[in-house]
Amino acid sequence: MTKILAVTGCPTGIAHTYMAEEALKAAAKQAGIEIKVETNGASGIDNMITDADLAKAVGVIIAADKDVNPDRFNGMAVIEVPVKDGIHKADILIKQILTGNVPIRNSNKSEPITTDNVSNSQVKESIGRQIYKHLMNGVSNMLPFVVAGGVLIAISFLWGIYSADPMSPQYNQFAALLKNIGGQAFGIMVPVFTAFVASSIAGRPGMVAGFIGGLVANITGAGFIGGIIAGFAAGYLMLYVKKWLDHLPRQFEGLKSIFIMPLIGVFIIGAVMYLLGDPIAAINNGMKEWLQSLQRANPILLGIVIGCMCSFDFGGPVNKAAYVTGTMLLGEGNFYFMAGVSAACIVPPFAIALSTTIFGNKAFSEDERAAGLVNYVLGATHITEGAIPFAAKDPLRVIPIMMLSSAIAAVLTFLSHIQVPAPHGGFLVLPLVNKPLLWVGCIFVGAVLGAVLLGLTRMHRNRKLAAKAAS
């Protein structure tokens, strides 16, 4: 039986990764071929592709928004696409592999792409797509530090907002321990982000220079903007240095990789970041002050912007931009901003779940109602991606409804001055929220509105389809 391989991976490694896996398996089963799918999830790599698999496969589908070590497939027929295409275009990708009209990865041969469904830009990655993958690799590896550190800090506040201060009457030794541990994890999120951006570009040499660049960005106050600059600068610098040193004899390989390359990379990137640190820090501070002033002066506008960003792509780059901004301000002690971001991210899966429950078989199929039940759990744990299958089927209706619902929840959260000191966790961190019941109320106002609008639009669409079929 014909065998193909696939690799899936998304920045968070929670939802898109496994949704693409299921879609590809279903498409392969329908086509009557064998497929092995390697998933690069939050807990690591599962079902890893082996040399024996490579020897038997006719082609590889890489549906990933992060670094999944694609060089192991050099010399094979490979399609590289975003993870969302693995979810929405699985059958097209399978057919494309089976036709044989797929370029050989890192080969001088240029085989034309004859299908209209998978464009040449999807097979040969554009510069923009490469930059996005490098960024998402940094975000993917940074998130566990952000979540673990942020939640530990938030838990320490249960003993009081000043419970880690030895001079305060609220002081508690265990709370201080939690905050110190969480602070260490939370404090290295920029160096980790920077290191993995650089690593995605240039491997281990890039990681070393990138990590140092991120540390300097932390020290100088350059923050995430400095981290992005340091990550890309370190990655491409080390690619150039490696190419420059390739003429050295093989006897110098150890000296080159352990001494020369790290020394050059650490010095140059460290020096550059010290020089750029103050100007970037000024930009960073200006952005934070503008956001905080907007939060005070016009919370409605801020809520609309944050809500629309969080529900625009359900865990994609626009959503991540809002989330990373929230974590940045959380590190500065601003707990109001993250409250709005979290509310906006929680609303879409709850809106889906409530709509499938309220309208039932009048608007949704049996499979959709089953998927709707899962969204109760996903919404409660701050996993926005549960709304993706519904949005994929009818994006022009579902996405605007979800954006409106999230914006309402975020606006109400900002107007209510709710504080959420944890960067993730959904309703699991309710004990840490200053107004937990009010926050839940804000979320459900947005979710219920979205559920009703979605249900009504689905019923209207179904009636139109039924009338069209009858005629």
Q: Which of 350, 312, 310, 373 is CA-nearest to residue 446? A: 350
Encoded tokens for 465: 């389809």
Rounded CA separation 438/239 (Å) = 52
Task: Kindly tell me the sign of the dihedral angle through the C-alpha atoms of 265, 269, 270, 271.
Answer: positive
> Do residues 235 and 214 touch, judged by C-beta distance below 8 A?
no
> Do residues 48 and 18 touch, judged by C-beta distance below 8 A?
no
Could you give the residue numbers annotated as active site?
A: 10
H helix or E strand, kind and range, residue 80:
strand 78-81
Alpha helices in 48-172 (DSSP H): 51-56, 83-88, 90-99, 120-123, 127-156
Token pair 């089963």 is found at 29
- Please count the other Cβ atoms lying within 10 Å of the Cβ belonging to residue 296: 10
Return the amino acid letter for 212: I
Q: Which of 190, 153, 407, 182 is CA-nearest to residue 284? A: 190
Distances in whole angstroms, Cα of residue 438 to Cα of each of 55, 283, 293, 419, 434: 58, 35, 23, 11, 9
Beta bridge mates, 63: 8, 81
